[in-house]
Structures are given as structure tokens and as C-alpha cells.
Structure 1
Amino acid sequence: MTADRIARLRLIRSNSIGPITYVQLLARFGSAQAALAAIPDLAARGGGRPPQLATQSEIEREMETVARLGARYLFLGEEGYPPLLTETDAPPPALIVKGDVGLLDRQAVAIVGARNASAAACRFARGLAQALGDAGLLVVSGLARGVDSAAHDGALATGTAGVIAGGIDIIYPPENADRQRAVAEQGLLIAEMPPGTEPRGRHFPRRNRIIAGLATGTVVIEAAPKSGSLITARRAADYGREVMAVPGSPLDPRAQGCNLLIREGATLIQSAEDVIEAIRPSEIARPRKTVPVRDTVPAANAGDADRAALAGLLGPTPVPVDELIRQSGLAPALVPTILLELELAGRLERHAGGKVSLP
């Protein structure tokens, strides 16, 4: 592991430094080492104390654990990192993976759905995943109960990737122990969190964005209107990916989310052929966005009055950054600089969809 990678992991594992901040720091300073050195000054400008940075010894222990588990890192901006994931608004700076990394070269379809899925839904998910795998597609899901488990089972022999909310060494749910080990041995297991991290509620939306970001299309099979599966589908829509849903009975609450998606414009699918037709594999656009992790971007100079004006527009309700630019009247290049300083000072929280708020 090079010094640059160690420095990157120190950034990633530090408080107040999320995926967006990480990219901005590397784009501004050109290297993780330079960004680490600059953080205390940036936090001071934002009016707070600098975040607690991960130490080199902590990172070295993590790296040793990853190696001992037979896993490896995939870093944003380096060869091997999933290209479609770089197109998302907050790609994970580093992934920890175990298994067949070559599966990421395939076009992927996500299959998600209810944890308390009906027997019919699980049967359909299993058969759909098997058919998509036989067609050469990678089936991605979240190793949850119900539809996720059925999808992994159906594609295990042909190619499946499981994205988990905790560390690469943590089994969740407990009854999926054998299934998770099988995915790691025969497919690919993917985690964003460091080893030893027990999954918490806040981790699952982060996992869902990875599932949606890896795939050219997401299929939802049974989901409640406010479920994690619909979060995944909406993230897929935000990324410009195909959203597909299996219709269900209006009398079944588990079908309400899918029927809602279809009413909102999701593609109704009933077979693997429908999925393949919807994602048009021969016309998949290659990634358009590159992530600047080495070339420096000139920093805009912000004054105290500029910081005060922008901070005054912030509140507990998340607001789009574009709206802050419009209302503040500040130069567009200046607003991200001030937001970066505020975040490092612990005075800003970022949300999905490019929104920010007071913590």
C-alpha cells in the first residue's frame, strides 16, 4: 500500500469528511497528503475546530485486517473502480471487495425488494436473476432478507454482487451467513465501511446508493411506499438509470411501492426479456464524468462577509447548493469553497441530491 493510498484512507476514515468533501479536497490540493495538511486551516476559516483525523497506525491496522480477510481495496479514480459508480453524485472514495473483481466488468442489473416478501415474489426474483445471469448480466443486490436473498440465490452460479451496509467481515442478517460466504467465494462481496463495522440505520441508504450506482437499471419486486427499495429506485432515477418494477395486487401492501413507481413512469416488467429490452445493452453510454483526484483546482478566496452571508441562508431543512448560489449572489466557484470550510468545521451536513443543512 503506497503512502498516497494510506493518506487517502486517512481522509476517508476521518470525521466530517464524506465522499463529496473527499473529492473536493483532492481536486483542490492535488493529493491526499496535501489535503491532510490543509484541513486545520480550512476548518479554522469555517469557524470551528478541525475534524479528528484518522492516524496512520489506525489505517495500517485496517489494511492488515483487510488483507487477512482476503479482501482488497478499490480506490476512486484508479483502475478497477466500477466506472458507472463514478457517475453518481457521491461515489465511495474506496470500496473493500472480496471475490471475483472481474465481475464488475459486466453490465449490471440491480434487483431489490421487500424483506417480508411473499413466496411468489421470491420465486419470481430467483427466476429473474437466473435468467439475467444466463444472459451474461451481473445481478446486484443488498444481501437482505426476502427478495435480495432470492436474487443472489438465482444468480450465484452465473455472477452476483452483494453490497453490504457493514464491514466486509460482518454477517447481516445472521441467517444469511452461508449465503454471504457463498457470494464472497463465488461472486463478489462489496463494502464501503471499514472491517468490524456493525450495520446501523444510517448505513443502509449509503449502501443503497452503491447498489443503484453499480447498475444500468434497477428492478423492484414488492416494496412498501417508504421502503429502502424505493430509496434505491429513486437514486437510480437520479443517476439517469432505468427504473423497472413488477406490478402487484392493489390489495397487497407490499405491492404499493411498485405500483407507485409504475404510475410515476417506471417500466413495467414481467420477464428477463423485458429487463434486457429496457436497459438496451447494445446502447449503454460509457461514463461521461471523470473524477479529478490528482489535478489541482484553483481555490476561490472567500472573505468573512461571504461566509457569514452563506451561513445565514442555512437552516435545519436541507436546501440544494444551486439554490444557495442563486440566493447568495456569490460567485458559483466561491460557494463550494465556503461549504467545504463549514463542513470541516462541523457546521454543515450534506444530504442526498446535492443538498446541505445545518447539523
Structure 2
Amino acid sequence: MTHLDRASLDRLLPATPGSPDWDDVLSRTGAQQRRHRLVVVLAAVAILAVGTASAFAMRAFLVDRGFIGLPPLGATPSTPASGELAISYWVGSPPGANPGRSQAWVYTDGRLIWLRETDPDRARLQGAANRWSTGFLEQRLTRKGVELLRSEIVSSGVFGHDKPPPGSERIPFYTEIAVRMGGRLVPVRWVSDLRSLETRLWDPASWLPASAWTQRRTRAYVPSRYQVCYGGLPTPLEPSRILPLLPPAAADLLRAKGRTRREGRRGWAGGPFVKSYDYCSAVTTREAREIANALARAGAKQRDPVQLNFRVDVPGPKVVDPIRPDDGPVRNTVFITFEPLLPHGEATCSPCG
């Protein structure tokens, strides 16, 4: 064994100025580099795990569950944003199904968007937003699938006759079926077997072949735009009376938008009916969220489980509702409703099923 005293060691390995640096020693041996690689790899694995979990959470929502009102933040809108309507219908439930009405819109690009009301006392439908409504759901057909669905209606329906052809029955006023023919949507007036046709339209997935679908499983329809409508109830009001009653953020946004006056009648089956009107504006989903958030922060009331809407009391004397005079004087209110604008540029009435 060789023996070295401290003086000899200092001559062979002179001291380095400064304090001892263990990280420097590790870096010279390569250990520090391996540690950095380990940290980077572990971080990458963690990010991948979090990202994958988030992706699956969003995918599960889009596929499995409808919603009422506005989509969750980050939900991907349905594409394309616009589309040409090929078929539309509003039919009743077949025997044995959850009682209700079903609205559907089929586009030439293959999208089948539908909304179904349900009986809250029956079993909740798979993918439904709540016990009262599915919310707007979406499936995708191939071109063949669109044509098969269209052919089913055309072969069962009769167009352009004022009197029923032999063996046909008239479409009742509460049922609507229309198909694109000659560049326009044509309503079906008579059908050979309404119950059979309604049953097949109620659930196209039960009879269309696998080749008719590019996406058979339902997911939520996420719109790019909304229709926001507002008016007075029971006494109609003009925008000049309504907007000052809303939170400034909501009022300013609606004031800057174009609006369309929508006229109709309000009442119960059997009457009486009274004239009514409101005003509607098209807004982006982001703008709709800003309006809804402003109303919610201001304490506006929400009551409907099948539609996002708000009510704001109008100051002043109470009024008598002409269709409910026995209720006596009631508070006049401003209502604000939110409905998705469908790809063909129109909205529906979610609670009207």
C-alpha cells in the first residue's frame, strides 16, 4: 500500500478555490444528467396522464349526455356550423315508449339532430339531460342513410292533395313531417300508415342498417350560435322598456345586436287566445354565456327544466292576464329565453313539445 501524507496529497491534488459543490461532482459523473432526464420523463408522463384523463372526460360528455341551455366551457361545437336541411319532423311516441314528442332535423351533410321530451315519472332515457328532456342530441348518417330515411317518408306520404287519397290518413295538426323535394322542403299531408311511420321516425337506429351510419352513438349537439328572445308577459313590452331592466352587461350586448320581432298568439287549448310578441337576436355561444351570467349574477329567476330562461319583475302596478283572469292581478315580467340556432339558421321551442 502506498502511504501519502497531507503535504504530498496537496501537491498532487491542489485545492480548488470556493466551497465544495456536490452538484458539480454529479455533473462530471453523468449522474446529474440522468436525474434531469428522469425528471423530464416523469413530468411528461404526468402531463400525458392528465391530458388523457381530460380528453376522456370531454369525450364521455360529448357522446353520452345532453344538456339544457349552454354547453360546458371547452365543448367542441358541431361542424360544419351551417347546413342544408333535408328532412324535419315532429312526431309522437310509439306504443310502449316513454311518452312524449320528438323533434328531429336531418341535414344533407348527414347530421341527425334531435330533441325529445320525456315523462319525468318514467325511467330516464339514456343520454338524456334530465328527467324532462334529452336536450339536443346528435348522430351522423351516411349519404345512403339520409336517402333511406327520406325514401321511408316519401314512400309512406302523399304530397299536394287537398283530399285524402284512398287508404290514407291526414297528418294531424300536432304532427309535422317535411322532406326536401325540388330544392325546397315540402310538408307531408297524408300518409298510408301514420303510426308505423312515426314509430320508424322516432328511432331510426332501430331499423337503419349499420352502413347507414358514420356515428350511430348519440352525443350532445353543441351549437355555435344561440337565439336570445325577450319580451313582456302577460303584457308585451318594447325593447326600450325591457333593456333598462336588465343588467348593463346583458342590456349593452343585446342593444348592439339586430333584432327581429316575432308575433304570435298565446293561450290554452280551447281559448281564449291573445296576441303576443317578443324580440329575438342571434348571438355567439360566448355572447349568450355573457348574457346568461350577467342575469344570473343579478338574481334573475330561472324556473324551466327544459329551457334556459330568466324572468325579471317589471316595477309598477300589477296587471290582469287575459287568459287567466280568475288569477287576479299579477306582476308583469320580462322573460329572456335561450335556444340553440340549428345549422339551417332557425331555432325551435324546447318547451313546446
TM-score class, shorter-chain normalisation, is under 0.3
TM-score by length of 1: 0.26
Higher strand share goes to which structure?
2
TM-score by length of 2: 0.26
Higher helix share goes to which structure?
1
Q: Which has the larger radius of gyration?
A: 2
Of structures 1 and 2, the one with the larger relative CO (CA 8 A, separation 6+) is 1
